[in-house]
Every structure is written in C-alpha cells, then in structure tokens.
Amino acid sequence: MSFLGYKKYPTPVLRPLLPFIGGAAIVGYLFFKAQDKMLKSDTYKNDPRNPHAGRHLPDSPAAERGSN
C-alpha cells in the first residue's frame, strides 16, 4: 500500500496465504450450504427470525424459472 505512504518491503504475503484462502473457500461453501439447508428446514422455515419466513425458496434459480 505504497499509495498510502507506507514503505514497500519484499515480504511474500499472498503466496503463503493461498492454502488458507482455499481452506476458507471450502469451509465457506460448506457453511453456506448448511445455512441454506437450515433456513429451508421445517423447524426454521416459519421462524419469525428467519428473513425468508413464509416465502417459498426455490432450490435453484433454474428451478424457479422452470416453474413459470
């Protein structure tokens, strides 16, 4: 960020982080999938805290287009 007035040092920052970025992508995908499943489950689909409560959530945008 030399444009903010900081000095540039040749420390490799991004390359060592690549495995952890990959790990974050895998964990993020799994957690969002689990969240989606919980939102659509019978226990929580009519919960007042659920922002999608009372709405029919399609499994995918393609399925929604197919129903019309």
Partner 1 sequence: MFKIFSPLEQFELNNYLQIKLFDNSILTISNFSFFLFLTILIIFFLFKLNNKNIVPNNYSYLMESINATVINLLPNKLIKNNNILGKYYPLLYTIFVFILITNLIGLIPYSFAITAQLIFVLALSLTILTGSIILGFNLHYFKFFNLFVPNNTPLFLLPLIVIIEFISFFARGLSLGIRLSANIIAGHLTLAIIGQLIYTFFYSNFSLISNIIGLLPFSLLIAISLLEVAISFIQTYVFTILTTGFISDSINLHGE
DSSP-derived letter for residue 3 is G
Rounded distance between C-alpha atoms, residue 21 and residue 28, angstroms? 10
Token pair recorded at residue 1: 């960020």
Q: Say whether residue 5 binds partner 1 (CB under 8 A).
A: yes
Residue 28 interacts with partner 1 (CB under 8 A): yes or no: yes
Q: Considering the rule CB under 8 A, would residue 38 count as an interface residue with partner 1?
A: no
- Is position 61 an interface residue for partner 1 (rule: CB under 8 A)? yes
Using alpha carbons, select from 5, 21, 24, 3 the residue that is nearest to residue 13.
21
Residues contributing to the site for partner 1 (CB under 8 A): 5-7, 11-13, 15-17, 19-24, 26-28, 31, 51-52, 55, 57-58, 61, 64
